[in-house]
């Protein structure tokens, strides 16, 4: 058989041999194969994955022919092979590393260049410590000022309005564009209460904006992502379980966004009360069929699932916020004096703020973004585009 020296992609000797062997096995008298057999052989070689493009290639090349000879077969297979990177039985054994691990470096380099958008929304009654917690999480006055250039003086924060503050934060050369969406006035017992609907509408509007940009003809190579990746929901430390407002709100948003439930101002509870309250809330959430972060994905393996199970068992995170440094013993730490002593907010033994930060940023930032895109946004898009 003529190897067809300069046409098509360059195949390894193993791949060439496999194509030749498949031809010989299927050919009558070692000369030709039936045109309508080519598709089956190609599918066998590629492990059963033929795209429409590959089928077109095969149909074009075999249409009207009586038999396909070895040279023609070799050409067709090469044309099909350019269209895939799923080699099936054509996979070439390698004698050493080929640099696939370098893909990780590529991902890092790309992430460094582009940075990440990460959009966080905080919801809960006034006074539960939302503003303080965001500032504690990101070690700055994140929630009160914006680092975006050229925006001029900020209007005074309104008491009831959804408002965004965007910050560029950078660590080890990785840039994150963090947008915090605050929802002051939620659930306040006054006339101008910020209702559930306003928040639901905001979340849907971000999905809609993304759909519009995806459908637009001259869409930017990278669509700016304003979709909410995580919604921190603050539960009052009452010991009495969820309130009707908590349930009503979470039921409205749990399929639109990743909900991360938190016990606010957990320093109001003893460790024993915290554990009991957590169990009570988990029961409530289950009873009302409210799904919270983290979601299980199809691609998750056992290890991923174990990690997610461990996180579920900790929810809702019992957090304490404090931005002021205090003297504790001989060192300055961020914390609060309580009835039962000093709580250092950065100590995982004292509260779950460090666990929340690790989960949001270090371990599950990409998972939150993936779930937003592939679960919440996708199902919203499907139900809206019909």
Identify which of residues 47 and 184 has a Cβ nearer to Mg ion in the complex: 184
Identify which of residues 41 and 165 has a Cβ nearer to ligand GDP in the complex: 165
CB of 265 to ligand GDP, least distance (A): 4
Task: Tell me: does residue 168 bind ligand GDP (CB under 6 A).
Answer: no
The conformational region for residue 358 under phi > 0 = left, psi -120 to 50 = alpha, else beta, is alpha
Identify which of residues 141 and 287 has a Cβ nearer to ligand GDP in the complex: 141
Tokens standing for 222? 């990278």
Number of chain residues interacting with ligand GDP (CB under 6 A): 12
CB of 228 to ligand GDP, least distance (A): 18
Identify which of residues 225 and 267 has a Cβ nearer to ligand GDP in the complex: 267
Task: Tell me: does residue 131 bind Mg ion (CB under 5 A).
Answer: yes
Exposure b/e, 301-323, CB count within 10 A at least 16 = b:
eeeeeebbeebeeebbbbbbbbe
Residue 248: cis peptide before it, omega within 30 degrees of 0:
no
User: Alpha carbon of 192 to those of 244, 262, 368: distances in Å?
Assistant: 19, 25, 32
Burial of 233 (0-12, 13-18, 19+ CB in 10 A): buried
Site string for ligand GDP, 303-332 (x = CB under 6 A): -----------------xx-----------
Task: Using CB positions, name the residue nearest to ligand GDP.
Answer: 129
Identify which of residues 35 and 321 has a Cβ nearer to Mg ion in the complex: 321
Q: Which residues contact 249 (CB under 8 A, 6 or more apart)?
A: 123, 196, 199, 233
Q: Binds 344, which of Mg ion, ligand GDP, none (CB < 5 to 8 A, cut-off by type)?
A: none
Task: Tell me: does residue 181 bind Mg ion (CB under 5 A).
Answer: no
Q: Which stretch binds ligand GDP (CB under 6 A): 1-9, 73-81, 120-128, 164-172?
A: 120-128
Among 130, 167, 278, 364, binds ligand GDP (CB under 6 A): 130
Site for ligand GDP in 8-47 (CB under 6 A): none
Among 70, 128, 142, 259, binds ligand GDP (CB under 6 A): 128
Vertex 331, ends 326 and 334: CA angle to 5°?
A: 35
Q: Which stretch binds Mg ion (CB under 5 A): 49-57, 131-139, 241-249, 292-300?
A: 131-139
DSSP 8-state secondary structure symbol assigned to residue 195 = -
**Helical H segments across the chain, by residue range:** 13-26, 38-45, 52-62, 70-81, 102-114, 130-137, 196-215, 244-253, 271-287, 302-314, 353-357, 365-371, 378-385
Task: Tell me: does residue 72 bind Mg ion (CB under 5 A).
Answer: no
Identify which of residues 163 and 381 has a Cβ nearer to ligand GDP in the complex: 163
Site for ligand GDP in 58-87 (CB under 6 A): none
How far is residue 215's CA from residue 304's CA, in Å, rounded to a whole number?
33
DSSP 8-state secondary structure symbol assigned to residue 186 = B
Burial of 101 (0-12, 13-18, 19+ CB in 10 A): exposed
Tokens standing for 353? 């703020």
Task: Tell me: does residue 267 bind ligand GDP (CB under 6 A).
Answer: yes
Site for ligand GDP, rule CB under 6 A: 126-132, 265, 267, 320-321, 336
Site for Mg ion, rule CB under 5 A: 130-131
């Amino acid at each position: 058989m003529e190897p067809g020296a300069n046409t098509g992609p360059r195949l390894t000797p193993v791949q060439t041999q496999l194509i030749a062997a498949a031809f010989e096995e299927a050919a009558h008298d070692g000369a030709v194969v039936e045109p309508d057999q080519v598709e089956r052989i190609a599918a066998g070689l590629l492990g059963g994955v033929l795209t429409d493009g590959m089928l077109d290639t095969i149909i074009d090349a075999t249409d009207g022919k009586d038999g396909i000879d070895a040279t023609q077969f070799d050409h067709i297979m090469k044309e099909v092979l350019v269209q895939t990177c799923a080699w099936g039985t054509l996979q070439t054994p390698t004698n050493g590393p080929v640099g696939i691990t370098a893909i990780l470096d590529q991902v890092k380099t790309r992430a460094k260049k582009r940075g990440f958008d990460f959009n966080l929304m905080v919801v809960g009654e006034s006074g539960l410590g939302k503003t303080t917690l965001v500032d504690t999480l990101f070690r700055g006055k994140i929630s009160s000022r914006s680092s975006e250039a050229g925006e001029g003086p900020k209007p005074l924060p309104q008491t009831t309005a959804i408002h965004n503050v965007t910050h560029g934060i950078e660590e080890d050369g990785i840039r994150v564009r963090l947008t915090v969406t605050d929802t002051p006035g939620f659930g306040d017992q006054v006339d101008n209460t910020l209702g559930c609907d306003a928040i639901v509408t905001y979340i849907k509007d971000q999905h809609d904006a993304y759909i519009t940009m995806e459908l637009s003809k001259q869409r930017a190579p990278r669509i700016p992502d304003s979709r909410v990746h995580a919604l921190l929901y603050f539960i009052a430390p009452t010991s009495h379980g969820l309130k009707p407002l908590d349930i009503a709100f979470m039921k409205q948003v749990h399929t639109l966004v990743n909900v991360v439930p938190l016990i606010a101002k957990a320093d109001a509870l003893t460790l024993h009360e915290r554990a009991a309250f957590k169990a009570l809330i988990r029961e409530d959430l289950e009873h009302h069929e409210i799904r919270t972060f983290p979601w299980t994905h199809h691609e998750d393996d056992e290890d991923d699932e174990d990690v997610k199970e461990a996180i579920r068992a900790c929810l809702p995170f019992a957090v304490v916020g404090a931005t002021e440094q205090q003297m504790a013993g001989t060192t300055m730490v961020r914390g609060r004096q309580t009835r039962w002593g000093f709580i250092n907010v950065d100590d995982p033994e004292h509260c779950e703020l460090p666990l929340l930060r690790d989960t949001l940023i270090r371990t599950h930032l990409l998972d939150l973004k993936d779930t937003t895109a592939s679960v919440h946004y996708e199902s919203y898009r499907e139900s809206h585009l019909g």
